Amino acid sequence: MTESQRYRRLGKYEMHTLIGEGAMGIVWKAYDTVLRRYVALKLLSSHFGKTKEMQERFLREARAAGAIQHPNIVTVYDLGDAEGQLFIAMELVEGRDLSDIITLREPMALERKLDLIIELLDGLHFAHQRGIIHRDVKPSNVRIVPDGRVKIMDFGIARLQSADASGSGAIVGTPTYMAPEQITNGAITPATDVFAVGCTLYELLSFHKPFEGESVHGVLYQVLTTEPKPLRTVAPSIPAALERVVGKAMNKVPQERYETAAQMQSTLLGIRAALSGAGEETTQRLGIRWTPLPGPVLKLVTQAPMKWRITVLSALALVVALLLFSPSPPAADQPTGARAAPPGPVASEIPPVSLALSARRDSALAARDRAILAGAIKNNVSTMALAEAMFQVSEQALVAGNQSQALNGYIAVVEQYRKAQDEARALGQEAAQMLQRVTPVVQAIPTGPAAVNAGIYLARAESLLRQQDFTMAKVAAQSAEQVGIEAGIAPPSSQPADARGAVDVLLTDLGRALASERVGNVRVIYPRMTDQERAGWESFFRDWDQITARFTVERFSPRGPTATADVRALFEYVPAGGGAPRQDRRRFGMRFEKRDVGWRVAAVAELK
């Protein structure tokens, strides 16, 4: 028995592990045998496809939900009907649900809790702008991935359930988090999701649900008629301003809530900044010598994952201790006439300094400029936050006249800026490689709306790359790639470093491209294909069905960035007109070339 025969199949998906099940259906961890990746495969309950009209409505609504591409929303890869079963294939997201964290009452800093809700609101606002409302926001639909980001799950699925239940008197959603208008069949607006976010934030802050009852109807009655306990009675340490935000979000009148998720997010960002000591009034109270962190640096610190913030603060504490306890040189050693370079990012009044200190400060400023030019601040590079904090401590020591402390700080910060520069460059290389990989996929899409959409995404990615916005460039490139995948164009697999191993992987990809019976997939592997060869492949696919192809390299001769090989091919197929399966054996002479994105087929000739 082969590995694939061990698993139940649905179309191109092998269902490996049952993840969960609920009223809408069951979810499997499944393997896409064409694109060779794991997905979360949701098999919808049979009541979604009772009639052809309901199936069409399901597909229409699911496509709308699947069109959303955002870092905080789980991506929908595929949807359809296979063997009479409606399914949705989604991004498989590792991590933990917010509901698990709440159930276990895991300790978490208030700032981190706000970070999670701010990201949740960011994803919701993006969808609301495109006319999609979630309708079932709740902690179990909010996943925290291992790197700390938030992913909203089941986006648009509740809308599908609502469409299926319309006219039946069914209530759609989860009672504890449902807005009153959902219960009374009122208008569903972005404020409906805002109410659910308020309930989620209430529960995250207090570890208590805002509405509880002995039955579903009891909970629904509370949602409609009763105010939850004041947040500060169950969580006394919560700031009053935050209690007001939660109360406004959970107002029973939609018009009295935040009109948009962005409005609520903006208010929470202000509270988050105040908690961090970043607000203008807060920082001014710390003393006349304190200069707040620059805006870009504050963004780096406040939006970084918790593990990075802990690293930054720990390292900063170490630097401060080093500077405070380092010995100061005698005053006689300090020249009185020398002054440092023009004021830097923090210091505004610099006392006389030694030439050595002035040179070290100039070196630190130059290292900072190099990191900025590499895109470290623009791309929220975590090591840049630490470097900026270290530099600011050194500037404070310099203004205070403690030159020994400042000198030690300037020496240490140069290496930190170099790390930030290297990290930014690595991000740029990743983005550039992503564009190189995606470009042939986009070029292989047949002329039509999909090709236009993918071209727009790719042009946007190229523009963002030139602007050094590497993270968003990758997102745009991934969107272009996703359009290609949905059009049936599969990206090539990653290849090992050695030429022979890379060519073996390439030939496996070629077999997969032939099995797809799409010339566009073959062109990704064989970009130099001529028009005559293209016509030959099209004829090949018209005459043969259910194609499988296996390639065996008999002779391989690498020469730097090129290689040649004699390749034996075994084709198994069914004639297009029907009949028994057949086999066809052939030999080809192939030439390969190494490009920036890996090895590709450069020429093919059949050998007699």
For residue 17, list its beta bridge partners. Answer: 29
- Give CA–CA dist 122/157, Å, rounded: 19
CA–CA distance, 544 with 145 (Å, rounded to integer): 44
Nearest to 599 by CA among 551, 571, 559: 559
| Tokens describing residue 201 | 């934030």
Q: What angle in degrees, to the nearest 10, is found between the helix axes of 355-373 and 382-399?
A: 150
Nearest to 32 by CA among 7, 49, 62: 7
- What's the CA angle centered on 199, arms 215 and 148, to 5 degrees? 120
**97 - beta bridge partners?**
143
Compute the 3-state secondary structure of the chain and give helix, strand, coil in percent, each to the nearest 5.
Answer: 50, 15, 30
How far apart are alpha carbons 375 and 379 in whole angstroms? 6
CA distances from 589 to 33, 95, 555 (A): 29, 48, 10
- Per DSSP, the chain holds a count of helices (H) and strands (E) of 21, 13
Q: What burial class does residue 214 get, using C-beta atoms within 10 Å of its C-beta: 0-12 exposed, 13-18 middle, 19+ buried? A: exposed
Is 424 strand, coil or helix? helix
Catalytic residue among 136, 154, 193, 504: 136
**Known catalytic residue: 333?**
no
Taking alpha carbons only, the member of 133, 115, 147, 389 closest to residue 273 is 115
The rounded distance, in Å, linking the Cα atoms of 514 and 573 is 11
Which residues have a Cβ under 8 Å from the Cβ of 453 and sit 6 or more positions away?
A: 483
Active-site residue list: 136
